[in-house]
Structure 1
Amino acid sequence: MISIQSPVSVTTVSTKAVPEHIVEYPQQRYHVAQPVAPGTFITLKTAANNSSESEAKVPLLFQPFQVKDLTLPNRIVVAPMCMDSSEDGFTSDFHLVSIGAFSLHGAGLVIMEAAAVTEFGRITPGDIGLYRDEHVSGLQRIVDFVHAQGGKIGIQLAHAGRKASHKADHTNHPKEDFWPENVVAPTGGLLWDHNHHTPRELTVAEIQELVKAFGQAAARAASAGMDTVEIHGAHGYLIHSFLSPVTNHRTDQYGGSLENRARFLLEVIREVRANFPAEKPILLRVSATDYVEHLGEPSWEIEQTVQIAKWVKEAGVDVFHVSSGGNTAQQKIKAFPGYQVPFAEQVKSRVPGLHVVAVGLINEGVQAEEVLQHEKADLVAVGRGFLRDPSLTLQFARQLGLVAKHAAQYGSVQNS
């Protein structure tokens, strides 16, 4: 294992000469930058390592990763990002092109945007959905393309809760496309902000129906050939709003204690697990904190996140994707490169056996490798970075001393 210490820099390598060896790697997607022994690459330099051409194994970021029967070709995850480009929950050519671009350029796992488990669970009228059997064929087309590139794909299962029926900035849906009277939450009357609708409180019977809806959506994802599903429990959407005392003021079995507030999530996990192939992993995305400590009131924080991580592992979650915030407009976030990684690190160190994804302004290959080398997480997710550059995986490879091999249709890239 490579030992990486700060400050970190990357060995400068020439890409003019045609490489003579290919790293032993799934699909042989990455070349070493100059002739060295097979299975090695030009290592990172640190303050404690002044050699310019020392050798080491392929960086962890570009080593395969296996969870259950799913083997990822590398440890780079495209985080789910809503595109608001759907009509009635159906995917479009835009989704094929956008998702396809990530896999075409070598991303190990692409997680598609939040797919609503009910029609009224969409964030906006432009969200994709998994609330109808007819949604499956469009998703399967995307899955087949990603698989043809050697990549893996999953999809988020979500309900927007009190953030539903919202207008996306770049769309112009007519008034009748929205559903303000059907916006729901664990506790009624709590607006996210003045641009959102006032939610009504869910009944216990409605909660149980939503649990079933998550399971039905998972079954449809399986029919589409998805390699994994990710339950969306972050960013102030329905599951998160049940977990946090900021937004859950219920006094029944779904409110009050942490055990009660986590009940809905745990029921959803068990239902999803029962409706998704046992050999395929389930991910859960959470917000580790509400960022409202300044209010001096009970809120959702990392200690509670660690506790539910233990519970969800027992309930059937294989991979824990750690984000933060989004539950209230009163949050105060100081964002900087890697700002959410310490949350992932805490879960990783305190919940043995649970695989963890780190995310949050991870902008460079060396930065991503450092997260893995220091065992802060098992996988690294990037969102907006892939929107800026769909070939970000290839850029990370170059930054770590590898010359990335593009898809065969693109020809040689040795002089690029």
Structure 2
Amino acid sequence: MTDLFSPLSLSHGPAMRNRFMLAPMTNQQSHPDGRLSDEEYNWLTKRATGGFGLVMTCASHVQSVGQGFPGQLGIFGDEHIEGLTRLAAGIKERGAISSVQLHHAGYRAPKDLVGTPVCPSDNPETGARGLTLDEVETLRDDFIAAAVRAEKAGFDGVEVHGAHGYVLAEFLSPEVNQRTDRYGGSSENRSRLLFEIIEGIRAQCRSDFQIGLRLSPERYEQSLEEIIAVAGEVMRQDKIDYLDLSLWDVTKEPEDERFKGRTLLSCFTDLPRGNVRLGAAGKVMSGPAAASVIEAGCDFVSIGRAAILRCSLTLWRKASLLWSSVGVMAA
């Protein structure tokens, strides 16, 4: 348990007081226009009070057409800055690093919320419309502008959501992305938007502003081999502070037969990471399970469902020790 509660420095900004990151969880508590509610404020600040080293907001959409859920926190307009400023201050007052997850739902945006959703290419299965080249560039700029709003609101950093089949993952997908311009075709082209967003945030935000990236290597027409390559390149470039892997289960084997016989997590812990910190999420429901993620080679662990049940890490640690002593394993 000692390693879980030791501080973790990052390349930019403050250090995490421990190895626990609150995973970004969308709980549909904000107002219909994306403004912060008291309920969402209380949910997040209580996790900071409970002891998490980094408290991440829910997925916060950078364009109105990118809304993925009712009651989703917004960061696509200056009208959101007031609530975000209150939230950043509340998290930081309680000793945690504060971060906003930047999100766009892409073809997964519900039609009853956004009308016609957008996607890298026309998508008959979902009815999503392909973005024009000008719209792709606007999307890039809106991710960057959202990060600037987060900085203005006082957050320590942002996490770029490139996982779970949302718009940036759709650009990465060789099946979903059928573009023929500089944002489609080769793996380099399909990852171009992601790298341009990271570069733009790093250029336009202050020097100590933190940048994280969330990737998921499977499902939603992703290529594990390509996501490994993207992860390796983004860590090589050393422009982000941490890579946050969403694995659904940190102990699982890859679905891709070519990578069987090892854990999915090991495909990434084996990569050179330079100054970039690496963390993972996926069915981490006890102290021993969290410790095993660190032992497997990660620097921190992202906690989701367990954080809903136990906002205090002190209580979480006591419960985990009890589970371990009686041999009970979390589901």
Same fold (TM over 0.5): yes
User: C-alpha displacement at 1:216, in angstroms?
Assistant: 0.6
Aligned-partner Cα distance in 2 for 1:224–1:338 = 37
Residues 1:67 and 2:2 are matched in the alignment = no
Tell me if the contact between 1:133 and 1:220 (Cα under 8 Å) persists in the aligned partners.
yes
| Count of aligned positions | 310
Q: Which amino acid aligns with 2:161?
A: H
Q: Which amino acid aligns with 2:246?
A: S
Aligned-partner Cα distance in 1 for 2:10–2:249 = 30
Aligned-partner Cα distance in 1 for 2:243–2:265 = 8
What are the within-5 Å matches in structure 2 for residues 40-59 of structure 1?
59=2
Q: Tell me, which stretches of 5 or more residues in structure 2 are unaligned? A: 255-262, 323-331
Number of the residue aligned with 1:322: 245
Number of the residue aligned with 1:133: 78
Number of the residue aligned with 1:373: 295
Number of the residue aligned with 2:271: 350
Number of the residue aligned with 1:180: 115
Residues 1:91 and 2:4 are matched in the alignment = no
Counterparts in 2 of 1:106 and 1:242: CA distance versus 1, 3 Å: same
1:251-299 Cα shifts (integer Å, max 9, x gaps): 22111110111111111111122222222221000111227xxxxxxx5
1:95-133 Cα shifts (integer Å, max 9, x gaps): 111101111111111110111111111113421111111
Aligned-partner Cα distance in 2 for 1:109–1:151 = 5
User: C-alpha displacement at 1:180, in angstroms?
Assistant: 1.8
Residues 1:305 and 2:227 are matched in the alignment = yes
Aligned-partner Cα distance in 1 for 2:238–2:271 = 17
- SS of residue paired to 2:15: strand
Q: Structure 1 length as normaliser, TM-score? A: 0.70
Q: Which amino acid aligns with 1:74?
A: N
Q: Tell me, which stretches of 5 or more residues in structure 1 are unaligned? A: 1-57, 167-174, 193-197, 292-298, 325-334, 403-416
Q: Which amino acid aligns with 2:73?
A: I
Q: Which amino acid aligns with 1:179?
A: V
Tell me if the contact between 2:250 and 2:280 (Cα under 8 Å) persists in the aligned partners.
no
Residues 1:142 and 2:87 are matched in the alignment = yes
Residues 1:82 and 2:26 are matched in the alignment = yes
Tell me if the contact between 1:365 and 1:395 (Cα under 8 Å) persists in the aligned partners.
no
Q: Structure 2 length as normaliser, TM-score? A: 0.87
Number of the residue aligned with 1:105: 50
Aligned-partner Cα distance in 2 for 1:105–1:266 = 34
1:299-343 Cα shifts (integer Å, max 9, x gaps): 52332122111322316222111114xxxxxxxxxx656438933
User: C-alpha displacement at 1:367, in angstroms?
Assistant: 1.5
Tell me if the contact between 1:189 and 1:200 (Cα under 8 Å) persists in the aligned partners.
yes
Aligned-partner Cα distance in 2 for 1:59–1:130 = 37
- SS of residue paired to 2:43: helix
- SS of residue paired to 1:66: coil
Tell me if the contact between 1:337 and 1:363 (Cα under 8 Å) persists in the aligned partners.
no
Counterparts in 2 of 1:276 and 1:340: CA distance versus 1, 3 Å: farther
- SS of residue paired to 1:72: coil
Q: Which amino acid aligns with 2:252?
A: Y
CA RMSD of aligned residues (A): 2.1
1:65-90 Cα shifts (integer Å, max 9, x gaps): 01023211111011001122222110
Moved more, 99-108 or 310-319: 310-319
Q: Which amino acid aligns with 2:219?
A: D
Q: Which amino acid aligns with 1:289?
A: E
Tell me if the contact between 1:62 and 1:75 (Cα under 8 Å) persists in the aligned partners.
yes
Counterparts in 2 of 1:338 and 1:227: CA distance versus 1, 3 Å: farther
Residues 1:266 and 2:195 are matched in the alignment = yes
**Structure ranking higher in helix proportion:** 2
Tell me if the contact between 2:250 and 2:281 (Cα under 8 Å) persists in the aligned partners.
no
